[in-house]
Homo-oligomer: A and B are copies of this chain.
Amino acid sequence: MYKVTVVIKLKKGVLNPEGRTILRALNFLGYDEVKDAKTFKCIELTIEGKDKETIQERVEEMCKKLLANPVIHDYEILLE
Contact residues of A with B, CB < 8 Å? 1, 7, 19, 22, 25-26, 29, 31, 33-49, 55, 58, 62, 65-67
Contact of A45 among B25, B36, B42, B43 (CB under 8 A): B36
Q: Is the CB of B26 within 8 A of A62?
A: yes
**Contacting pair A48 B33 (CB below 8 A):** yes
Docked CA distance A65–B25 (Å): 11
Q: How far in angstroms is the closest Cβ of chain B from A53?
A: 14
Which residues of the partner chain B approach A34 to less than 8 Å between Cβ atoms? 45-48, 62
Q: Check A33–B49 contact: CB distance below 8 A.
A: yes
Which residue of chain B lies nearest to A1 when distances are taken between CB atoms in the complex? B35
Please state if A43 and B48 are interface contacts (CB–CB under 8 Å): no
